[in-house]
Structures are given as structure tokens and as C-alpha cells.
Amino acid sequence: MEIQDREGQKGYGEGTPRSYVTGEDIQSTKEATSKICQKLLGQNFNDRDDFLGFLESLSVNGFSEKSPSAVCAVELALLDLFCKKQDIPVWKLFEEKPITETMCYSSILPLVSKDYLESILKLTVQYGICQIKAKASSSIEETVETVSVIRKRLGDEVDMRLDANGAFNASEATRLVHQLKRKGHDISSFEQPVPKEDKNGLKRVEQETGVAVIADESFSSERDLDEIVKNRFCKGINIRISKCGGFLRSKKMVRDAMSAGLFCQLGCHVGETSILAAAGRHLAAVCPPFRFVEGCYSRFLLKEDICKNPIEFGFEGRAKVPEGPGLGIEIDEGVLERRCKRLYEFVL
């Protein structure tokens, strides 16, 4: 998403609609983006309060619930543009000093061939990353074997969690954890072990295994969070800026969740560019520390990033708070031209 003001200054945002999470698709996101942009016409943001008031109005109007990815893309572009004009990083719009100054990113191990898995494990060792998330297959036996391979390669000191994307029912997920324990393979948490609708299943897995469960597909809105807190379905939630309806809503939900005693993981969607990676880093800067942080995988997953200098992490997955104005990114206009399609044109 590119937004340009009358002086030619540009801001950039990104959303990642996922039908299996929020019910959005590309077409509905396009339509919602058009409606949101119509509300921008004639807007004049005289100060910080006016600007943030407009962003908050998107939630009041229901866009964040129905089309979180569209809101995310527009909101991030506006944040980037507004803060560039103020010559401040996005996080400084909310805090005088970062709440969290350094974050440590996890390595994510997808469902791949043994040879490819070994290459990712080699990179994980080279980077000295000490937190990993492994994707579980729909087979308990295959998942146990994969975890055994990972533990043999990385050792028992590395913090390891599983993500099933709803592949099991509660009984299967419980059996998997017990089989891992019998093998001596502990995991620190289990992300979305059961289908998104089965919130009681999340609670059952946590109670029967003693392993903290993280809600991902089962959580994307404030309504979901309220339900999780009220019924104590699990101990953690996965915050993805796009699925949660943008920066402001994600920030609020992190604060609400942590105040209720939940821990938070800063997640990402496969295929995110450095726009959302940068947004995640700004979000981490204005929130109490996330237990796990994911993202900045663009050069490992994309043929080319849309940013000239992709947002990356360093040794041990460490990264610091961005200091440049706006999101702190520079868009590669050539890649933008090749990879993006101009749908609407508004001049603010």
C-alpha cells in the first residue's frame, strides 16, 4: 500500500489476508481498502491527536473486525507517512523511550524434506539462535521423529515450541506431547494444536499436558481475547499485526492480554516483506517484552524484498529498535513496479 501526500512524500503499508484465519480474501481486502481510502479524502491531520483519532475511528466503524488486513495496510502507510513528516520513528509517536530496546527472533522450521531441514538447522546454528518453532505434521509419529532430529542437531538447551495449525484434535495433541516427553523431548509451548473453533480443546490440551498453549487461528479480535481471558482457554496468544487489524489494535491487545496474565508471541505470516517486519519491530518497542518474536525472514523466503535494505536480525536473532523516520524502510521502486498492481489512486 502506497500513500502519497500533496508534497510528494510517501508512506508504505502491508496487509496479508488469510481466509482460514480472518475470513478475508484478496477481493474483499481490495474492496475494504477502497472504502477506507475514501474516508481519507479531505482529511487534514493538524496534530498527533487528530491523526491517532482518525486511525482509532477505523475500529469504531467496524473495518478492523471485518477487514483487518486492509486496515493494517492503510494504517501502516499512514503511520509511515505521518512520522516521516514529523521526522520521528513510528514508535516515538507512542513512547518517549522504547519500552523494549532489544528483541530476539526465533528460527521457524517448516515442514520440509530432511535435506532442506538440515540446511535450515545449519543456519540456525550459524546464527546462534536459541529459540525455535517447529511445524508439526498431521502425523504424530512424523512429528515425534522430526522433533528428535531437531533435538539431536541443536541439543536440549534450545527453547523449542511446536505449531500444529489446528492439525489435531485434543486427544491427539495430548498424545503427541506425552510421546515427546517419553522420548525426553520437552517443548515450552504448543501453538494452535486444535482447529480454530475448538477453544475448549486448547484448554484441554493445556490442562492434560502441563504445556502452555498459544492461540493463533483461534485469536484475531478483541472478542476472541475477551473469550480466552474469561474462560482461561490458554496461557498465550499470537499477535500478528495484519490479522489483528493493524498497529494500534495489536498494541492494545498486547497490553490487555498481558494485564490479564497471558503471555504474547509476536508472529508473522509467510511471505511478509520488510514493511511488516519493520512494523513488528516498532510494535515490540512500545510493548512489554514478547516471550517469542518471529519475522524478518524475507531474504530466506522471498526472491526479492520490496525494500532496498531488508529488515534483518543479527547473531542470536538479536535486533534493536529502528531509529529512522517512519517505519525506517526505503522502498525499491523497481521492485514495487514489477511486483505490485496499481488498483486505486488517491492524492491526500
Q: What is the pLDDT of residues 12-52, one digit of tens each?
A: 999 988 887 888 888 888 888 888 888 887 778 878 999 99
Query: ∠126-130-133 over CA atoms, to 5°?
Result: 100
Residue 157 burial (CB count, 10 A): 7
Provide the 3-class DSSP secondary structure of residue 242. Answer: coil
Q: Quick one: pLDDT band at residue 345, thresholds 50, 70, 90?
A: low
How far is residue 151's CA from residue 185's CA, in Å, rounded to a whole number? 7
Those residues with Cβ within 8 angstroms of residue 3's Cβ, 6 or more apart along the chain or in another chain: 10, 11, 12, 13, 40, 74, 77, 78, 81, 346, 348
Contact assessment for residue 218 and residue 193, using Cβ atoms and an 8 Å cutoff: no
The set of cell numbers assigned to 92 is 516515538
State yes or no: pLDDT of 348 exceeds 80: no
Please determine, for residue 344, whether its predicted confidence score (pLDDT) is greater than 80: no
Tens digit of each residue's pLDDT (9 = 90 or more) over 209-249: 999 999 999 999 999 999 999 999 999 999 999 999 999 99
pLDDT score for 62: 66
Closest CA to 271 of 10, 18, 9: 18
The DSSP letter of residue 136 is -
Model pLDDT, residue 325: 97
Residue 290 has pLDDT above 90, yes or no: yes
Q: pLDDT for 41-79, tens place per residue? A: 777 887 899 999 989 887 666 677 788 999 999 999 999
Q: Which of 166-175, 197-206, 299-308 bottoms out in mean pLDDT, i.e. has the lowest?
A: 299-308
Higher-pLDDT residue of 339 and 288 is 288
Full-model pTM: 0.93
pLDDT of residue 42: 75
Average pLDDT across the chain, whole number: 92
Average pLDDT over residues 152-161: 94
Q: Does residue 98 have a pLDDT over 60?
A: yes
Give the pLDDT score at 280. 97
Domain boundaries along the sequence of the chain:
2-88+331-339, 102-320
Question: In 3D, which of 13, 10, 24, 3 has the Cα closest to residue 274?
Answer: 13
Better-scored residue on pLDDT, 88 or 18: 88
Q: How large is the average pLDDT for residues 71-100?
A: 96
pLDDT at 302: 79
Question: Which CATH number describes the domain made up of 2-88+331-339?
Answer: 3.30.390.10
CATH of 102-320, one of 2.60.40.2550, 3.40.225.10, 3.20.20.120, 3.10.270.10: 3.20.20.120
